[in-house]
Copies of this chain bind each other. A is one copy, B any other.
Amino acid sequence: MHKVFTIETQGPGLYEITREVEGFVAASRAEEALLTLFVRHTSASLAIQENADPDVRTDLAAFFHRLVPPSDDPAMGYIRHTSEGPDDMPAHIKAALLPVSLTIPIISGRMMLGTWQGIYLFEHRSSRHRREIVAVAR
């Protein structure tokens, strides 16, 4: 069983999808299985992160913005792929650094997430985007 999730993003940061994925797992009636998530883009990622303090997500996005600044930043003067905007090549780099696929065990019908683990789409582009994540329970 599979489902394609569509997430409308409005700028960089983490968008939680834990509830939607839990709903999919419940609907799949999978008992002992694996949940696979796959993001169909090269400028957005998946993340499993703390779902308690929202500052964690802010700090995460801030760290990655500093690690991979926009390509019009002097530190990124060696970047060639600038034609799609200063946030495009950094988005590809972040998409290499962060997961494109995740596999989560399902046991007795539930994902084995830890207490503090939430599932997120991590958007790297500045403008609005429509993102697709494929979920498979199998």
User: What is the interface of chain A, defined by CB distance below 8 A to chain B?
Assistant: 2, 32-34, 36, 38, 40-42, 47-50, 53, 55-56, 58-60, 62-63, 66-68, 78-81, 83, 89, 92-93, 95-105, 107, 112-114, 116-117, 122, 132, 134, 136, 138
Contacts and interface: CB of A to CB of B under 8 A. Distances in A.
Contacts of A97: 97-98
Contact of A2 (B67, B105, B138): B105
A70 B36 CA distance: 33
B101 A103 contact: yes
Per DSSP, are chain A's interface residues mostly helix, strand or loop, or mixed? mixed
Contacts of A48: 42, 95, 100
Given A40-B114, A42-B49, A112-B134, A89 B56 contact: yes
Contacts of A113: 40
Counting every copy of the chain, the complex holds 3
Nearest to A33: B138
Contacts of A100: 48, 99, 102
Contacts of A98: 96-97
A79 to B, nearest CB: 5
Contacts of A42: 48-50, 114, 116-117
